[in-house]
Amino acid sequence: MGITYNPFSLEGKTILVTGASSGIGQATAIECSKMGAKLIVCGRNKERLDQTFSKLEGDGHSLFEGDLLDQDAIERLVKETPSLDGLVLSAGKGLTLPFPFCSREKFDDIFNINFFSPVELLRLLTKKKKLNQNCSVVIIVSIGGTHVHSVGNSIYGASKSALQTMVNFTAMELAPKKIRVNGICPGMVNTPLIRRGTLTEEQLQADMEKYPLKRYGEPEDIAFGAIYLLSDASSWVTGTSLIIDGGVTAK
């Protein structure tokens, strides 16, 4: 007789994942479907979003194509979204730039994607009462800006640091509604975000050696952390961020 007990099961839960067309968001959506969840996957790229959708296990899933930098798209998503048991805010953008070149325009671009867009979506889902009691919100933050401060990373780090602060504040405000809010702070993960040409392959390999486990993370490494935070196994966890970084911040 097999063991059926699984405190990490997502059976019966409806979960919205943004940034689901690639990277961490895509992996999280796919792995959540394997745990029994019904997914709403959101992204800007229709072709890649369709690829994610085709990999979901089970049925009853749906997709939303839209740019969440557009207020109308956010409001349409909120209107079309059913009541949620889980929310993963994964959409984000990186930038490496020396501080003297960090113009207000550059700050606005990164903050709009990494901070204002997910916060506005969370605000409206809360205001419109789309988050069920015992809903779990998982926000993908980063060790960059919260635990590691590297040269050329000031705009990205500041946006993620602000996002971490919002994790703490919203966890406090939503706790009376039995809504939990937590973050995940990944280290470097093998996604298109790090393969955008800023660093050479040799530089990436050298950086990888700084990690005690001698590798970067895979999107699934982060997805499994999200599953824990989305599941009832973490029902007494809120207002914190799970560091998944191969041990690099422990040094």
Number of other CB atoms surrounding residue 71 within 10 Å:
11
Interstrand relation of 14-17 and 84-89 (parallel, antiparallel or unpaired): parallel
Q: Is residue 6 part of a domain?
A: no
Determine the Cα–Cα distance for residues 81 and 138; give it in Å rounded to an integer.
17
Specify if 250 maps to a domain.
no
What confidence tens digit (pLDDT) does each residue in 112-139 have? 999 999 999 999 999 999 999 999 999 9
Q: How confident is the model at residue 203 (pLDDT cuts 50, 70, 90)?
A: confident
* CATH number for position 70: 3.40.50.720
Q: Which helix (H) or strand (E) holds 88?
A: strand 84-89
Residue 113 lies inside a defined structural domain of this protein: yes
Domain for residue 208, yes or no?
yes
**Domains in the chain: how many in total?**
1
Report how far apart, in Å, the C-alpha atoms of 216 and of each of 113, 188, 249 are.
24, 6, 13
User: Is 210 a member of any domain?
Assistant: yes
* Of 231, 238, 196, 236, the residue nearest 28 (C-alpha): 231
Q: Is the pLDDT of residue 49 over 60?
A: yes
Residues spanned by the domain of 172: 14-242
Alpha carbon distances (Å) from 174 to 160, 170, 181, 234 = 21, 6, 8, 16
Instruction: Please say if the pLDDT value at position 196 is more than 70.
Output: no
The pLDDT of 105-109, averaged and rounded, is 95
Assigned domain for 5 exists: no
Overall pTM surpassing 0.75 (yes/no): yes
Q: Which residues pair with 88 in a beta bridge?
A: 17, 138
CA distance 197 to 188: 15
Question: What residues are annotated to the active site?
Answer: 156
41-45, 95-99, 152-156, 180-184: range with lowest mean pLDDT = 95-99
Share of the chain above pLDDT 70, in %: 96
